[in-house]
Amino acid sequence: SQQGEEDPQALSIQEGENATMNCSYKTSINNLQWYRQNSGRGLVHLILIRSNEREKHSGRLRVTLDTSKKSSSLLITASRAADTASYFCATAGANSKLTFGKGITLSVRP
């Protein structure tokens, strides 16, 4: 299956700490995307990293991609209570559609 698998399933940290979430997948990809879902809302696209990229930044977000290990990580620096949400990675290969993982629940304690 192309589906990414996130790790850990749940993460609880203190405000101000960094949060690191991981995604592993099984086959080659064109790109990998991270989404956030606040409780009761739709998914919001955060960042896209292409297969020929190794690292990408967007504000407090840093995404890395290691195609040799078939894994990606999402780092949120200086976390805030407002970062509390579920985070999903989504993967797609050359001839396959975007497939979402099951998500990571992040809780940031004030």
Partner 1 sequence: EAQVTQNPRYLITVTGKKLTVTCSQNMNHEYMSWYRQDPGLGLRQIYYSMNVEVTDKGDVPEGYKVSRKEKRNFPLILESPSPNQTSLYFCASSPSDSPYSNQPQHFGDGTRLSIL
Give how far Cα 42 sits from Cα of 37, 59, 86, 110, Å: 6, 21, 11, 24
Query: Residue 91 in contact with residue 29, Cβ under 8 Å?
Result: yes
User: By CB under 8 A, is residue 69 in contact with partner 1?
Assistant: no
**Alpha-carbon gap, residue 102 to 21, rounded angstroms:** 13
Instruction: Give the shortest CB-41-to-partner 1 separation in angstroms.
Output: 5
Using the rule CB under 8 A, is 2 a contact of partner 1? no
The verdict on 72 binding partner 1 (CB under 8 A) reads no
Minimum distance of partner 1 from residue 108's CB (angstroms): 22
47/30 Cα distance (integer angstroms): 14
Q: Binding to partner 1 by residue 82, rule CB under 8 A?
A: no
Cβ neighbours of residue 59 under 8 Å, at least 6 residues apart?
none
Which stretch, 14-22, 34-42, 53-61, 64-72, contacts partner 1 (CB under 8 A)? 34-42
Tell me which residues touch partner 1 (CB under 8 A): 3, 30-31, 33, 40-45, 48, 88, 92, 94-103
